[in-house]
Amino acid sequence: MKLDDHYELYRQTCLRFAKEKIAPFVDEWEEAELFPLELYREAAAAGVLAAAYPEEYGGGGGDMLDGLIGVEAWLTGGSSGVVAGLGSLGIALPPILVLGSEEQKRRFVSPVLAGEKVAALAITEPGTGSDVAGISTRAVRDGSDYLISGSKLFITSGARADTVSVLARTGADKHGGLTFFVIEKGMPGFTVSRALKKTGWRASDTAELAFDEVRVPEANRIGEEGSGFVALMKNFQHERLALAFYGHATAAIALEDAIAYAKERQAFGRPLVGFQVTRHKLARMATEVEAARTLDYSCALRVRDGEYLVTEVSMAKNFAAEVAQRVCYEAVQIFGGMGFMRETRVERLSRDARLLPIGGGTTEIMNEIIAKGLGL
């Protein structure tokens, strides 16, 4: 899809960063289940970490489409985990940018955009996933401070985060009783319970966090009490659109690898592409990738231009997640036994794709949202 020149220039910058700074090291980082913190600073220096954020806080002055193009391009480095970890600011900072004061934005946003600090978002709890209104982590007033107690689960960048945007309950109202706070590394009572082992996205650290009466000053409350749920719902639309971009980009890479392998691999005296069944399989895969990409960009451009899409973004996320899984499955099938080996990229892609129908709202929740949008 042809975009304005500045988007294409940014895409090329991100592709170059992925080729030079991610791809050569990705196997090592996947095995270590971690990438070096220096990558944040390198991304900031290269101008690819903060392009979508306001200039006054150290960003590049771009828009949300820049961020999505970055996700798409970074994935060519070969690891969704690296992209998720490097891009965790994309879900951690929006509540602060939407609800926070100028002082909070400069204090919590600017160092992250400079690559000096790592930010995470903490919503999911051991007993609360898609039902955000069921959050039980509590923030209780104690003078001019709050005492926060509870736990959060599956937190991307949680083990290394310097700041965590935490959604906690400040009131009894199911939706109106939720408030965002920034909890900082080193605050007494804040601990990383455990780093989590995952099937895919291995290069991103994912953690369970515990809060035992963490004393948080009022200056770290983001927005007014009760403002958290609405801000989170807006944030969800961007997160879901980003996951849709993960989907079509993952599928596109798997397709590229499958085509290259099918041209090279010989069977029964001819390359795999010499068989109609392989050609038709690749044709179907390419069609689905293009359909997902087109839907994703259509939604992204409308959101960039000010539309608040819920139904369509849910459609895009579901479809791209399904396409990623199908295309990765078929890519592994084309590779045969080699597709089951850790040394091939399609093996990793097939594992990474499995998270897409779960993260940011499950396929089932997206279908309920779509059904509601249809008046059902």
Taking the CA of residue 328 as centre, how many other CA atoms within 13 Å lie in the half-sphere pointing to its CB?
27
Q: Are 146 and 140 in contact (CB under 8 A)?
A: yes
Backbone angles phi, psi at 146, to 5 degrees: -125, 145
- Reply yes or no on whether 239 is catalytic: yes
Q: Are 373 and 311 in contact (CB under 8 A)?
A: yes
Buried b (16+ CB within 10 A) or exposed e, 197-213: ebebbbbbbbbbbbbee
Q: Are 22 and 74 in contact (CB under 8 A)?
A: yes
Q: Are 159 and 207 in contact (CB under 8 A)?
A: yes
Catalytic pick among 30, 72, 208, 239: 239
Torsion 273-277-281-287 (CA) sign: positive
In 3D space, the residue among 165, 148, 156 whose CA is nearest the CA of residue 96 turns out to be: 165
Q: Are 179 and 227 in contact (CB under 8 A)?
A: yes
Residues with a catalytic annotation lie at: 239
